[in-house]
């Protein structure tokens, strides 16, 4: 038994739904003692997401949790088990529920609780994770949809009786027999993400490229595909969908697989650090100045190296320190928003950024609350020496997308179809995106 109990809580710690695989005493212990203690633990953090995901809870239990949007998924454990297993399971529950229900919230979960319950009992049997693969789950639990409900209500016939889900027990559990499509299509998306930290002087502190090969398959029968890439050696650490024959990849460097139907992630990879020069598709510069209580940040964005393509969906987010007030922004290109929460932030959007765009600048000006400065100066004999960095914004987070460009220059060489004889329409797209892209001031 891996997990004793699974709770989905809202952000204030109230249980939205719970399921148990343990005896009555443990159930009562979990809901009367452990969960309240856990809620208290979460509240003890100023920012809830700073709570450690593995927490040694009262009564010899361990609380393992993840936080996703408005919900907290909590697994209660009383054995020596791998927490990653629980974390991956909770993540899988979140993904399956999202796929079934759409936008997850306390309300939508309660509205669809029968589906949630059915899913949970298929995903976990006697406390052990059984499956989290939604293509398998779809065969076991019908997807709730407005259409299904309407048909049921009008005709009085349950969809479940008409199209009874059937288990697929073939040697390819991810693909059912007898799939038919009128047009046979297969699309490959190579999406690469750049994680980088760039220093104020433009030097790159850390740089990392990882990518996903996403596929959309609409193929009939039992197709067997062979996908060859131009530089497989650049891919450092590849994790494959279970449909991929790992030995073939190890020996020949090609990806052989019988694809699941629909959308799926074929592989995720990491680009070997020595194989990738540190290419930055976008440069963001910042100059900061301070004058008495005023602070000014001038941002400019420029196209870097990206095969001459325009950069799309540029978004620069600058969190401001808590002392900032009276924030004013001047924007020469694109649009911006200023949000005032516990701490304020400025967001700058540009639909496209082309090479040679000179006017893409943004100036942020704000004032620092007097009290903050005096506190810093207190007991300080030389006020002009106050250069505390605490009241200056520290960094910007940059988001962007470059379509048709692969930063690692990994390309699809060929895609061959075997075992089936129909004509297949192929499509390949490349996208380079920002992962966690951070520019320090």
Work out which of 142, 221, 307, 310 binds other proteins, going by CB under 8 A.
142
Residues 74, 63: contact at Cβ < 8 Å? yes
User: CB 293 → other proteins: shortest distance, Å?
Assistant: 17
CB nearer to other proteins: pick between 78 and 300: 78
- Least distance between other proteins and beta carbon 85 (Å): 4
Please state, as a whole number, how many other Cβ atoms lie within 10 Å of the Cβ of residue 421.
8
For other proteins, which stretch binds (CB under 8 A), given 184-192, 199-207, 290-298, 344-352?
199-207
The encoded tokens of residue 119 equal 């899913």
Ordered DSSP codes for 377-410: HTT-S-GGG---GGGS--EEEEEEEEET--TT--
**Residue 58 near other proteins by CB under 8 A:** no
Asked if residue 349 binds other proteins (CB under 8 A), the reply is: no
Chain centroid to CA 98: 13
Q: Which of residues 86-115 bind other proteins (CB under 8 A)?
A: 87-88, 91, 110, 113-114
Residue 208's Cβ-count burial label (10 Å; 0-12, 13-18, 19+) is middle
Q: With CB under 8 A, what is the number of residues at the site for other proteins?
A: 97
Footprint on residues 315-334 left by other proteins (CB under 8 A): 321-322
CA dihedral 258, 260, 265, 271 (to 10 degrees): 0
Query: Rounded to whole angstroms, how far apart are CA atoms 201 and 403?
Result: 28
171 binds other proteins (CB under 8 A): yes
The span from the first CA to the last CA of the chain, in angstroms, equals 50
Contacting other proteins (CB under 8 A), which of 217, 276, 300, 438? 438
Contact region for other proteins (CB under 8 A) — 100-108, 216-224, 241-249, 362-370? 241-249
User: Which is nearer to other proteins, 113 or 425 (by Cβ)?
Assistant: 113
- The residue from 102, 158, 404, 427 that contacts other proteins (CB under 8 A) is 158
- Other C-beta atoms closer than 10 Å to the C-beta of 262 total 13
Q: What is the contact mask toward other proteins in residues 245 to 264, using x (rule: CB under 8 A)?
A: -xx--x--------------
**Which residue of 25, 80, 251, 277 would you call a contact of other proteins, by CB under 8 A?**
80
- Whether the CB-CB separation of 220 and 182 falls below 8 Å is answered with no
């Amino acid at each position: 038994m891996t997990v004793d109990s699974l709770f989905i809580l809202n952000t204030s710690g109230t249980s939205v739904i719970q399921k148990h695989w343990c005896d009555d005493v443990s159930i009562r212990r979990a809901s009367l003692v452990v969960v309240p203690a856990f809620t208290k633990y979460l509240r003890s953090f100023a920012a809830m997401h700073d709570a450690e995901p593995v927490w040694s809870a009262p009564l010899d239990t361990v609380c393992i949790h993840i936080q996703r949007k408005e919900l907290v998924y909590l697994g209660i454990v009383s054995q020596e088990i791998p927490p990653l297993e629980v974390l991956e399971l909770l993540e899988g529950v979140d993904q399956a529920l999202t796929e079934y229900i759409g936008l997850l919230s306390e309300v939508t979960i309660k509205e669809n609780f029968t589906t949630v319950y059915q899913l949970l009992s298929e995903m976990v049997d006697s406390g052990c994770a059984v499956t989290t693969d939604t293509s398998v789950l779809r065969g076991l639990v019908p997807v709730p949809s407005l259409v299904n409900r309407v048909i049921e209500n009008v005709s009085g016939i349950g969809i479940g009786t008409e199209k009874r889900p059937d288990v697929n027990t073939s040697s390819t559990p991810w693909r059912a027999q007898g799939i038919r499509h009128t047009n046979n299509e297969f699309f490959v998306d190579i999406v690469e993400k750049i994680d980088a930290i760039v220093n104020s002087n433009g030097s790159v502190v850390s740089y990392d490229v990882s990518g996903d090969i996403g596929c959309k398959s609409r193929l009939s029968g039992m197709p067997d595909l062979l996908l060859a890439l131009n530089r497989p050696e650049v891919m450092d650490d590849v994790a494959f969908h279970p449909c991929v024959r790992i030995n073939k990849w190890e020996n020949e460097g090609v990806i052989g697989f019988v694809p699941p139907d629909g959308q799926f992630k074929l592989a995720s990879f990491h680009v070997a650090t020595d194989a990738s020069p540190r290419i930055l598709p976008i440069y963001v510069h910042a100059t900061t100045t301070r004058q008495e209580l005023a602070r000014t940040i001038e941002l400019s964005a420029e196209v870097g190296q990206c095969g001459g393509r325009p950069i799309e969906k540029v978004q620069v987010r600058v969190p401001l320190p808590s002392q900032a007030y009276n924030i004013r922004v001047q924007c020469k290109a694109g649009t911006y928003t200023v949000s005032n929460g516990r701490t304020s932030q400025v967001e700058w959007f540009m639909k496209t950024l082309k090479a040679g765009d000179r006017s893409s600048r943004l100036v942020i000006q704000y004032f620092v609350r007097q009290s903050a400065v005096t506190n810093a100066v207190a007991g300080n004999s030389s006020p002009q020496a106050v250069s505390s960095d605490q009241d200056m914004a520290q960094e910007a987070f940059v988001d962007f997308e470059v379509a048709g460009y692969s930063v690692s220059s990994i390309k699809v060489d060929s895609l061959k179809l075997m075992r089936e004889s129909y004509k297949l329409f192929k499509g390949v797209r490349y996208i380079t995106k920002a992962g966690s892209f951070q520019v320090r001031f």
